[in-house]
Amino acid sequence: MSDTDLNPSELWTALRNSIEDRDMQRLAFLCEKYEESIKAHFVEWQSVPPEVRQDRVQREAYAESLVTLAQVFDRAGKPELLDALQKQDPQNPVDRLDDQLEDAKRLINQKEYSSAIALLESMITEYDNMLGTPVQEGLARIHGLLGVTWALSDELPHAILHTRIALQHCRDLGDQEGIDIYTESLEKMENLLEEG
Protein backbone atom coordinates (compact mmCIF):
# COMPACT_ATOMS: atom_id res chain seq x y z
CA MET A 1 0.00 0.00 0.00
CA SER A 2 1.37 3.40 -0.98
CA ASP A 3 1.76 6.01 1.73
CA THR A 4 0.59 8.78 -0.58
CA ASP A 5 -2.80 10.23 0.18
CA LEU A 6 -4.25 7.38 2.24
CA ASN A 7 -7.94 7.85 3.00
CA PRO A 8 -8.96 7.67 6.71
CA SER A 9 -9.85 3.96 6.53
CA GLU A 10 -6.57 3.04 4.78
CA LEU A 11 -4.63 5.23 7.20
CA TRP A 12 -6.16 3.54 10.26
CA THR A 13 -5.37 0.11 8.76
CA ALA A 14 -1.77 1.18 8.06
CA LEU A 15 -1.38 2.55 11.59
CA ARG A 16 -2.80 -0.61 13.16
CA ASN A 17 -0.56 -2.84 11.02
CA SER A 18 2.51 -0.82 12.08
CA ILE A 19 1.52 -1.12 15.74
CA GLU A 20 0.76 -4.86 15.53
CA ASP A 21 4.04 -5.48 13.65
CA ARG A 22 5.90 -3.34 16.23
CA ASP A 23 7.22 -1.27 13.30
CA MET A 24 7.78 1.93 15.28
CA GLN A 25 9.76 3.59 12.48
CA ARG A 26 6.89 3.29 10.04
CA LEU A 27 4.41 4.28 12.76
CA ALA A 28 6.41 7.46 13.48
CA PHE A 29 6.53 8.24 9.74
CA LEU A 30 2.75 7.83 9.38
CA CYS A 31 2.08 9.92 12.50
CA GLU A 32 4.24 12.75 11.19
CA LYS A 33 2.93 12.65 7.62
CA TYR A 34 -0.74 12.30 8.57
CA GLU A 35 -0.83 14.15 11.89
CA GLU A 36 -3.81 16.37 11.00
CA SER A 37 -5.81 13.51 9.49
CA ILE A 38 -5.15 11.30 12.54
CA LYS A 39 -6.31 14.06 14.90
CA ALA A 40 -9.41 14.69 12.78
CA HIS A 41 -10.47 11.03 12.64
CA PHE A 42 -9.32 9.66 16.01
CA VAL A 43 -12.73 10.06 17.69
CA GLU A 44 -14.34 8.22 14.77
CA TRP A 45 -11.80 5.36 15.13
CA GLN A 46 -12.72 5.03 18.82
CA SER A 47 -16.04 3.53 17.74
CA VAL A 48 -15.35 -0.21 17.58
CA PRO A 49 -16.68 -1.96 14.44
CA PRO A 50 -19.26 -4.71 15.17
CA GLU A 51 -17.07 -7.48 13.68
CA VAL A 52 -14.23 -6.52 16.06
CA ARG A 53 -16.55 -6.11 19.05
CA GLN A 54 -17.66 -9.77 18.78
CA ASP A 55 -14.11 -11.12 19.23
CA ARG A 56 -12.25 -10.53 22.52
CA VAL A 57 -8.75 -10.92 20.99
CA GLN A 58 -9.52 -8.51 18.14
CA ARG A 59 -11.17 -6.10 20.59
CA GLU A 60 -8.08 -6.03 22.79
CA ALA A 61 -5.77 -5.54 19.78
CA TYR A 62 -7.99 -2.69 18.57
CA ALA A 63 -7.86 -1.03 22.01
CA GLU A 64 -4.09 -1.47 22.17
CA SER A 65 -3.74 0.25 18.78
CA LEU A 66 -5.75 3.25 19.97
CA VAL A 67 -3.74 3.55 23.20
CA THR A 68 -0.37 3.10 21.45
CA LEU A 69 -1.23 5.73 18.85
CA ALA A 70 -2.32 8.16 21.57
CA GLN A 71 0.90 7.50 23.52
CA VAL A 72 3.08 8.20 20.45
CA PHE A 73 1.44 11.61 20.11
CA ASP A 74 1.66 12.23 23.87
CA ARG A 75 5.41 11.50 23.90
CA ALA A 76 5.80 14.04 21.09
CA GLY A 77 4.19 16.67 23.34
CA LYS A 78 0.75 16.35 21.74
CA PRO A 79 -1.59 14.97 24.41
CA GLU A 80 -4.88 15.57 22.54
CA LEU A 81 -5.44 11.92 21.56
CA LEU A 82 -4.69 10.58 25.03
CA ASP A 83 -7.03 13.22 26.47
CA ALA A 84 -9.72 12.09 24.00
CA LEU A 85 -9.33 8.47 25.18
CA GLN A 86 -9.44 9.39 28.85
CA LYS A 87 -12.27 11.88 28.48
CA GLN A 88 -14.76 10.09 26.28
CA ASP A 89 -17.11 11.48 28.89
CA PRO A 90 -16.51 14.01 31.68
CA GLN A 91 -17.35 11.30 34.22
CA ASN A 92 -15.40 8.06 34.23
CA PRO A 93 -17.56 5.57 32.25
CA VAL A 94 -17.05 2.85 34.86
CA ASP A 95 -18.19 5.13 37.72
CA ARG A 96 -21.19 6.22 35.68
CA LEU A 97 -22.03 2.60 34.85
CA ASP A 98 -21.94 1.70 38.56
CA ASP A 99 -24.24 4.63 39.39
CA GLN A 100 -26.70 3.61 36.68
CA LEU A 101 -26.70 -0.01 37.87
CA GLU A 102 -27.58 1.23 41.37
CA ASP A 103 -30.43 3.28 39.87
CA ALA A 104 -31.67 0.16 38.03
CA LYS A 105 -31.54 -1.93 41.24
CA ARG A 106 -33.52 0.77 43.07
CA LEU A 107 -36.19 0.68 40.34
CA ILE A 108 -36.34 -3.13 40.55
CA ASN A 109 -36.74 -2.99 44.34
CA GLN A 110 -39.63 -0.55 43.82
CA LYS A 111 -41.12 -3.05 41.32
CA GLU A 112 -40.80 -0.47 38.52
CA TYR A 113 -39.70 -3.18 36.12
CA SER A 114 -40.47 -1.41 32.84
CA SER A 115 -38.44 1.65 33.93
CA ALA A 116 -35.55 -0.59 35.00
CA ILE A 117 -35.62 -2.43 31.66
CA ALA A 118 -35.65 0.87 29.73
CA LEU A 119 -32.65 2.14 31.72
CA LEU A 120 -30.67 -1.11 31.34
CA GLU A 121 -31.36 -1.34 27.60
CA SER A 122 -30.23 2.27 27.11
CA MET A 123 -27.03 1.36 28.99
CA ILE A 124 -26.31 -1.47 26.54
CA THR A 125 -26.53 1.02 23.67
CA GLU A 126 -24.28 3.46 25.55
CA TYR A 127 -21.53 1.04 26.60
CA ASP A 128 -21.51 -1.56 23.83
CA ASN A 129 -18.87 0.29 21.76
CA MET A 130 -16.56 0.99 24.68
CA LEU A 131 -13.38 -0.93 25.33
CA GLY A 132 -11.68 -2.23 28.43
CA THR A 133 -12.23 -5.06 30.89
CA PRO A 134 -14.18 -2.95 33.47
CA VAL A 135 -16.73 -1.96 30.83
CA GLN A 136 -17.02 -5.58 29.60
CA GLU A 137 -17.58 -6.68 33.20
CA GLY A 138 -20.22 -3.96 33.47
CA LEU A 139 -21.97 -5.23 30.34
CA ALA A 140 -22.15 -8.70 31.91
CA ARG A 141 -23.82 -7.16 34.97
CA ILE A 142 -26.24 -5.13 32.81
CA HIS A 143 -27.35 -8.22 30.90
CA GLY A 144 -27.51 -10.23 34.13
CA LEU A 145 -29.74 -7.60 35.75
CA LEU A 146 -31.90 -7.48 32.62
CA GLY A 147 -32.29 -11.24 32.91
CA VAL A 148 -33.48 -10.89 36.51
CA THR A 149 -35.85 -8.01 35.65
CA TRP A 150 -37.43 -9.83 32.71
CA ALA A 151 -37.85 -12.92 34.91
CA LEU A 152 -39.60 -10.81 37.57
CA SER A 153 -41.84 -9.48 34.78
CA ASP A 154 -42.74 -13.11 33.87
CA GLU A 155 -41.02 -12.79 30.48
CA LEU A 156 -38.80 -15.86 30.67
CA PRO A 157 -37.68 -15.96 26.99
CA HIS A 158 -36.25 -12.41 27.33
CA ALA A 159 -34.77 -13.31 30.72
CA ILE A 160 -33.03 -16.38 29.28
CA LEU A 161 -31.65 -14.42 26.31
CA HIS A 162 -30.01 -11.74 28.48
CA THR A 163 -28.73 -14.27 31.02
CA ARG A 164 -27.06 -16.20 28.17
CA ILE A 165 -25.37 -12.99 26.97
CA ALA A 166 -24.20 -12.24 30.54
CA LEU A 167 -22.82 -15.79 30.77
CA GLN A 168 -20.94 -15.37 27.46
CA HIS A 169 -19.38 -12.10 28.67
CA CYS A 170 -18.19 -13.88 31.82
CA ARG A 171 -16.73 -16.73 29.75
CA ASP A 172 -14.88 -14.20 27.56
CA LEU A 173 -13.51 -12.51 30.68
CA GLY A 174 -12.63 -15.78 32.45
CA ASP A 175 -14.87 -14.75 35.38
CA GLN A 176 -15.56 -18.11 37.04
CA GLU A 177 -17.81 -16.66 39.75
CA GLY A 178 -19.98 -14.98 37.11
CA ILE A 179 -20.03 -18.17 35.04
CA ASP A 180 -21.28 -20.17 38.04
CA ILE A 181 -23.96 -17.60 38.97
CA TYR A 182 -25.37 -17.19 35.46
CA THR A 183 -25.20 -20.93 34.67
CA GLU A 184 -27.29 -21.66 37.76
CA SER A 185 -29.76 -18.84 36.95
CA LEU A 186 -30.07 -20.06 33.37
CA GLU A 187 -30.83 -23.63 34.46
CA LYS A 188 -33.58 -22.40 36.83
CA MET A 189 -35.14 -20.19 34.14
CA GLU A 190 -35.03 -22.92 31.50
CA ASN A 191 -36.65 -25.39 33.93
CA LEU A 192 -39.41 -22.88 34.72
CA LEU A 193 -40.00 -22.31 31.02
CA GLU A 194 -40.25 -26.07 30.38
CA GLU A 195 -42.71 -26.44 33.25
CA GLY A 196 -44.79 -23.71 31.57
Domain layout of the chain by residue ranges? 8-86, 93-195
Residue 166: band (very low, low, confident or very high) from pLDDT cuts 50, 70, 90: very high
User: Tens of pLDDT along 32-67?
Assistant: 999 999 999 998 888 777 777 767 778 878 888 998
Q: Identify the band that residue 92 occupies on the pLDDT scale cut at 50, 70 and 90.
A: low
When pLDDT is cut at 50, 70 and 90, the band that residue 127 belongs to is: confident
93-195 sits in which CATH class? mainly alpha
**CA 88/CA 127 separation, integer angstroms:** 11
